[in-house]
Amino acid sequence: MQTRSCQVLIVGGGPGGYPAAIRAGQLGLDTIIVDKHGLGGTCLNRGCIPSKAMIHAATKFEEMGKHADSDVLGISLAEAPKLDMGKLVGWKDGIVAKLTGGVGQLIKAAGATHIAGWAEFSNAKTCVVTMDDGEQVEITAEHVILATGSVEVELPFLPFGENVIGSTDALDLTERPEKLVVVGAGYIGLELGIAFRKLGSDVTFIEASGGILPLYDKEITRPITMWLKKHKVDVNLSCKAKGVTEADGKTVLEYDDAKGKAQTIEADKILVAVGRKACLDGWGLENMGLDLDGKFIKVDNQCRTGMRGVFAIGDVVGEPLLAHKATAQGEMVAEIIAGHRRVHDPVSIAAVCFTEPEVVGVGLTPDEAKAKGEEIITGKFPLAASGRYLSMEAGLDGGFVRVTARKDDHVILGIHAVGAHVSELSGEFALAVEMGARLDDIAGTIHVHPTLTEGFAEAALTALGHPIHISAPKK
């Protein structure tokens, strides 16, 4: 067995691990990153990027279908578009391959070393990496960064198989399911379910809670509910999946409805999207002497574990399970190891759902702010009043931008939006909350016309009581 030593050992090449490797390399640290399942992790290979590629293709397919049915915008197609799922998946895979290759080049350029294999720790600072060819190398490090990420939650009564799939398998389907049942109406289930509906699948949701996207209030989720109804997507709330049967070549989901009555529904594929959990198994956590916080690794505000010189970042340390949080933590830890003074203390982290329409939220909702004892004012600007949105065939889906601010000093506590392309506003929203901006800061910043960002400025003006492009709210 080969033996190696390094200053920094990173296990996991996802959006937390690979930025940590790049930054550590830039800082002159002798760095090794170990990853078996593809640089970029779940986000790049099996999650964020491929799902957004599929959502884009599905939206394009749906829009082309509209032009085949009418001459909207004065543009018409002689026949309806045709779908080749195999080629769609191939195009998606090409994007992933290009990006993963780029990550590898960036790691190399930074001076870090990538080893493709599975790491298993024998103690807190030593692991054995087994490569695909069976060759092994033992690595001992001064500092360890655990970035093992998360995995899909598999329900014991709905084990993954040929027709019961998770999000990873859903992104690799080379045939469109005629009937798709989605168990779970959180962001993963909704994003994929809506995409398959745009591709022509008959989609049904089975959700255990009383609403979709439970992290968002009903005002925000209402436009999504409207889209689902308009597109004849059945959403069954307060329903509990119980199991699956296979008979006569048919796959049937068994579930209890909101009244507790047993029901069944037939499906070509059943997509289980009930969340993700930290990847804690198979890499020797039990040999490292680390403390857990529930089902996650316990860390402080520098991502230090209870073991000296061992850090953990990203999904493995808990909510929010977001790629951009992992990236920020990875860069920070590399700098801490290099001697910089850093802490992970964001005011808030923006979250986006690429549903139809899109949703973005950062900071507190009005109800959350009130629950914390804040006296607030809010401003809401309907996107139907935005010239830019209307010129893009958007804005008529019930979308809006909403700002929540403290009443006495006008400090912005939260910003939420729903509508086409609002994900692209998330950076400005996050910046405003992080810098402690006040309503006047946003209203006083000249926003370019015509752009999507004007809706944010108008929402701030509305909260101040003097909007320009809608009637002033009644006091």
Kindly list the catalytic residues.
449
- Measure the CA–CA gap between 31 and 269, rounded to whole angstroms: 43
Residue 229 CB coordination number (10 Å): 11
d(CA 347, CA 363): 8
Could you give the angle at the alpha carbon of 387 between the alpha carbons of 384 and 391, nearest 5°? 95
230 CB contacts (<8 Å, ≥6 apart)? none
Cβ atoms < 10 Å from Cβ of 52 = 16
Please count the other Cβ atoms lying within 10 Å of the Cβ belonging to residue 296: 18
The residue type at 275: G
Backbone φ and ψ for 2, nearest 5 degrees, come out as -70, 155
CA 328/CA 340 separation, integer angstroms: 15
Quote the crossing angle between the two packed helices 187-198 and 218-230, to the nearest 10°: 30
Reduced to 3 states (helix: H, G, I; strand: E, B; else coil), residue 455 is helix
Asked whether 401 and 381 are in contact (CB, 8 A), the reply is: yes
Strands (E) in 51-176, as ranges, are 113-116, 118-123, 126-130, 136-146, 150-152, 164-165
* Residues 429 and 443: beta-carbon distance below 8 Å: no
Neighbours of 249 (CB within 10 A): 5
How many residues would you count in the chain?
475
Cα–Cα distance for residue pair 420/424, rounded to 1 Å: 9
Q: Please state, in angstroms and rounded to a whole number, the distance separating the CA atoms of residues 375 and 410.
A: 10
53-89 burial, b for 16+ CB within 10 Å, e for fewer?
Answer: bbbebbbebbeebebeeeeeeeeeeeeeeeeebeebb
Chain position carrying tokens 């329900």: 155
